[in-house]
Amino acid sequence: MNKNFFINYFQFNSSSILISWENSIENDIIFDVLSFKNAINNNIKQILEVRNAYSSLLVTYKYSIDNIYSEIKTLKQVYLNKIKINLVERKTWRIPVCYDKFFSKDLDNISTSLNLSRNQIIKLHHENKYMVCFLGFLPGFLYLSNLNKKLYFPRKSVPDLSVAKGSVGIGGSQTGVYPSDSPGGWNIIGNSPVNFINTSTDEISFAQPGDLIKFYPITLEEHQVILKESNKFKFEWEAIND
Amino acid sequence: MNGRQSMIEILKPGLFSTIQDKGRVGLQSYGIPHSGSMDSFSSDLGNKILGNNVENAVMEITMIGPVLEFKTSSIICITGADLSPFINNVNVLMNTSLVVKKNDVLSFGRLIDGLRSYIAISGGFKTEKAYNSRSMCKNVTKAVRLNKNDILKFDKSVTLSDSELLVKNIKSFGNVLSVYKGPEFFMLNSYQQNYIMSHEFSISNSYNRMAVQLKDLIVNELVSIITSPVIPGTVQLTPNGTLIILMRDCQTTGGYPRILQLEEKSINSVSQLKKNSKLNFKLKI
């Protein structure tokens, strides 16, 4: 089924064009955005980078744009001929998370406010598969969708000055992992011992937009073992079959 | 020592000194900031005067300059803000090549104008690279700024030629910022649009490599947008009515309406403005 979207093209600066869908977070839109992104990467030369967010694409050219109308015309043609993203080729990454009291400093607060036990929250958090929509905020930070509505919980009104690397948090309708120490306003419910950003150039991040993330609970002891050799952690994935 | 590896010792780091080059283009999809020299015009100028490649790494210094001791002779060029440079306590010229000898000390005095100055060196600084760039940036490079007693290496294999080129009156400075309409400019009402385009704004005490925040508030009822791409030079409007100009180390995505986009040369101009500096926006189209 092919849904028709209204798409807006806008010159953002001398060398980039912003393509926007309606201002909404929906799977249909994200898949359309990712399909268009693939098509641009495969069909247009002189592209420095195409990056996406929930409902937009930023196309950055290697050079200044000479004729904006002709570039937009080319993009529109690529959109019409694009192939829908192959959802089966995506990966589900298995990521360990320790929900031990040692890390989950805001879990009791969420538990009281939402009237759910600690174990219920932990179960609801790791039983869902999350989709990587894009990376942003910090190097290696994954914007994930599909948090269980029962776990929606507002951000802190005053952000913490320092949230530890690996912290797993809930902020509003979102969940995610802090890839480095950072100020932040999300409520922390656990910690992942793996590196979300790699300093070697060949594979900066294990995950691509469109991939899924499945968290699995580990004990504090297991967390310490993985953390000690986090550089050697082997990311495991499964093919998507649902 | 084979004589090729040359060194500088940092006796004092100054207020905030970093190594910068052209930054990390094309990696923003990983959430990696663009980085690179805040005032790319001045940074390029120094490299060009020395006959370097513009990709060569330079030292960016801010407001209060460092004290550097050369362990090897070389040729340098100082561009950008005038921080009263001295070699061995003798005032030296900017925007021209300067010969420095072994044990010479480069220091700085009073800030005359601008905010950021650049020290280019023949062959460029050879500090650690991350993702093919030497630009120091938090969460990306191990070192995020230069510290006392750091030893900086540079490559002396290039032939030293004193080009005698002196560039006069070349400045990236200016208080009128030329801008394009941002993607959410149309969401502003005509009163807000006119106000932003005619008001003289001033810079608050929050201005760094990530962002420059303006003082004057705008009556604003715009809600946040869903997280979307931003780039250096994007001007965001926060719910409380503050304008924020994103700079070279900015995040790659943001949730505030993007109401203006600075032209590249205006990003350079903002890099040279400090607290209480006045500025105006001027629409390009």
pLDDT at A157: 83
Confidence at residue A1, expressed as pLDDT on a 0 to 100 scale: 45
| pLDDT (0 to 100) of residue B1 | 41
* The pLDDT of residue B169 is above 70: no
Question: Are A75 and A98 members of one domain?
Answer: no
Q: What is the pLDDT of residues A95-138, one digit of tens each?
A: 999 999 999 999 999 999 999 999 999 999 999 999 999 999 99
* CATH number for the domain that contains residue A159: 2.40.100.10
A115 φ/ψ angles, rounded to the nearest 5 degrees? 60, 45
Whether A57 is covered by a domain: the verdict is yes
Whole-number pLDDT of residue B2:
43
Q: Are residues A156 and A220 in the same domain?
A: yes
Residues A228 and A188 placed together within one structural domain of the fold: yes
pLDDT at B158: 55
Q: How confident is the model at residue B211 (pLDDT cuts 50, 70, 90)?
A: very high
| Mutation choice for B interface testing from A21, A40, A51 by most B CBs within 10 A | A51
Residues 146-175 of A with CB under 8 A from B: none
Residue range of the domain that includes A22? 8-85
Q: Encoding tokens for residue B277?
A: 């500096």
Closest CA to A169 of A150, A139, A193, A190: A190
Residue A3 lies in a domain: no
Say what the pLDDT of residue A23 is.
Answer: 87
Record: contact B251-A137, CB cut-off 8 A: yes
- Give yes or no for residue B122 having a pLDDT over 80: yes
Is A53 in Cβ contact with B229 (below 8 Å)? yes
A68 plus A107 within the same structural domain:
no
Domain closes at, from A61, A85, A109 = A85
Interface check B139 vs A, CB under 8 A: yes
| CB-based contact B31 A24, cutoff 8 Å | no
Q: Within an 8 Å CB–CB cutoff, is residue B241 touching chain A?
A: no
- Count how many domains chain A has: 2
pLDDT tens digits, residue range B60-81? 999 999 999 999 999 999 999 9
The pLDDT, as a whole number, for residue B155 is 79
Question: Last residue of some domain: A24, A59, A85?
Answer: A85
pLDDT in tens, B229-258: 999 999 999 988 999 999 999 999 998 999
- Residue B131's region, left for phi above 0, alpha for psi from -120 to 50, else beta, is left
Angle (CA) B271-B275-B279 rounded to 5° is: 65
Angle A198-A200-A205 from CA coordinates, rounded to 5°: 35
3-state secondary structure of A241: coil
Residues 6 or more apart in contact with residue A34 via CB below 8 angstroms: A52, A85, A209, A210
CATH number at residue A79: 3.30.1360.40
CA dihedral angle for residue B253, residue B257, residue B260, residue B261, rounded to 10 degrees = 10
Do residues A68 and A131 both lie within one domain?
Answer: no
Q: Are residues A42 and A126 in the same domain?
A: no
One domain, residues A109 and A133: yes
Q: What is the DSSP letter of B129?
A: -
Q: What is the pLDDT of residues B13-34, one digit of tens each?
A: 999 999 999 999 999 999 999 9
CATH of domain B176-283: 2.40.100.10
Domain boundary among A70, A85, A100: A85
- A113 & A195 share domain: yes
The whole-angstrom separation of Cα A213 and Cα A145 is 10
Mutate to test the interface with B, among A138, A178, A186 (most CBs of B within 10 A): A138
- Determine the Cα angle at A105 with ends A100 and A108, to 5°: 90
Average pLDDT over residues A131-151: 96
Q: Measured between CB atoms, does B224 come within 8 Å of chain A?
A: no
- CA dist A48 → A59, A230, B7, B193, B228 (Å): 8, 32, 35, 32, 18
Residue B165's pLDDT band, with cuts at 50, 70 and 90, is low
- The larger pLDDT score, comparing residue A78 to residue B154, is at A78
Flag whether A96 is in a domain: yes
Mean pLDDT of all residues in B259-265: 96
What is the DSSP secondary structure assignment for residue B103, as one 8-state letter?
A: T
**Per-domain boundaries in chain B:** 5-155, 176-283
Contact B246, B19 (CB under 8 A): no
Whether residues A131 and A206 fall in one domain = yes
Q: Is A195 on the interface with B (CB under 8 A)?
A: no
| pLDDT score of A2 more than 70 | no
Tell me the sheet residues that pair with A8.
Answer: A20
Task: Report the distance separating Cα A190 and Cα A213, nearest Å.
Answer: 15
